[in-house]
Amino acid sequence: MSVETYIDTADELSRRILLLIPKHPEILTMESPWDLFKIKEFSCKDLAPTMFQAGWALAKAKKDYSNDQD
């Protein structure tokens, strides 16, 4: 996997998580990307992210959402 593909996957996952936050605000308190699987609408099978990508994407989505609320 190229570096660009790796980054694109993490960015796409972050985008998907960010879109779920308004309907599932509990995402904002999640500390583990594993918790995302408790949300029925969450899907990442097509991306097959690494644990690092998932953790980074969760943190980025939470930060982006918070920044959008300011």
Closest CA to 44 of 68, 20, 70: 20
The total domain count for the chain is 1
Report the C-alpha gap between 13 and 16 in whole angstroms. 5
Give the pLDDT confidence score for residue 53 in this predicted structure: 97
Written as one letter, the residue type at 66 is S
Tell me which residue range forms the domain holding 41: 3-62
pLDDT value of residue 70: 77
**pTM of this structure:** 0.93
Does the structure show a pLDDT above 90 at 52? yes
In a domain, residue 68? The reply is no
Confirm whether 21 is domain-assigned.
Answer: yes
* Mean of per-residue pLDDT scores for the chain: 96
pLDDT at 55 over 90: yes
Q: Residue 67 falls within a domain, yes or no?
A: no
List pLDDT tens digits, range 39-48.
999 999 999 9
14: in domain = yes
| In-domain check, residue 70 | no
Whether 69 is covered by a domain: the verdict is: no
